[in-house]
Structure 1
Amino acid sequence: MASTTAPQQAAPASPGPLKRIILIAVIALIAAAAAGAGVWFFMSRHAPVASSTEAAPAAPTVPLFFPLESMTVNLQSDDGQQHFLRIGLTLKLGDATTQQALTDHMPEVRSRILLALSNKHPEELAPLEGKRALAEELKTLIAEPTDRGAAPLRVQDVLFTEFVVQ
Structure 2
Amino acid sequence: MANEEVGEGEEQKKKSPLLLFIILAVVLVAGSIGGTVLMMSGGGEEELAEEELEPAAIYYAINPKFQTNYEVNGRPRLFQLAVSLVTREDDVVEALSTHLPTIKSRLVILLSGQKFETLQTPEGREQLREQSLAAVQEILNTEIGKPGVERVLFTDFVMQ
Identical aligned residues as a percent: 25
SS across alignment from 2:110 = helix
Residue 73 (structure 1) shift:
1.2
SS across alignment from 1:82 = strand
CA contact (8 A) 2:72 2:116 kept: no
1:90 to 84, 89, 111: 84
Give the whole-Å Cα distance in 2 for the aligned partners of 1:146 and 1:117. Answer: 19
Give the whole-Å Cα distance in 2 for the aligned partners of 1:109 and 1:136. Answer: 15
Residue 59 (structure 1) shift:
2.2
Give the whole-Å Cα distance in 2 for the aligned partners of 1:95 and 1:150. Answer: 12
Give ranges in structure 1 of 5+ residues lacking alignment. Answer: 1-55
Aligned residues: 110
CA contact (8 A) 2:77 2:159 kept: yes
SS across alignment from 1:99 = helix
Residue 142 of structure 1 aligns with which residue? Answer: 136
Deviation track 1:43-83 (CA, whole Å, cap 9, x = no partner) reads xxxxxxxxxxxxx74523211111111111123x4623322
2:125 to 116, 120, 131: 131
One-letter identity of the residue aligned with 1:72: Q
Query: Over aligned residue pairs, what C-alpha RMSD do you find?
Result: 2.1
SS across alignment from 2:154 = strand
Deviation track 1:122-166 (CA, whole Å, cap 9, x = no partner) reads 111111111111110000001113685751432111111110112
SS across alignment from 1:163 = strand
Residue 95 of structure 2 aligns with which residue? Answer: 101
Distance change >3 Å, CA 133–CA 148, structure 1 → 2: closer
1:59 and 2:53 are equivalent in the alignment: yes
One-letter identity of the residue aligned with 2:90: A
Could you tell me the TM-score, scaled by structure 1's length?
0.60
Give ranges in structure 2 of 5+ residues lacking alignment. Answer: 1-48
One-letter identity of the residue aligned with 1:111: S
- Bigger CA drift: 80-89 or 120-129? 80-89
CA contact (8 A) 1:87 1:163 kept: yes
Aligned pairs for 1:63-78 (under 5 A) are 63-69=57-63, 70-75=65-70, 77=71
One-letter identity of the residue aligned with 1:86: Q
One-letter identity of the residue aligned with 2:158: V
Q: Name whichever structure is richer in strand by fraction.
A: 2
Distance change >3 Å, CA 134–CA 149, structure 1 → 2: closer
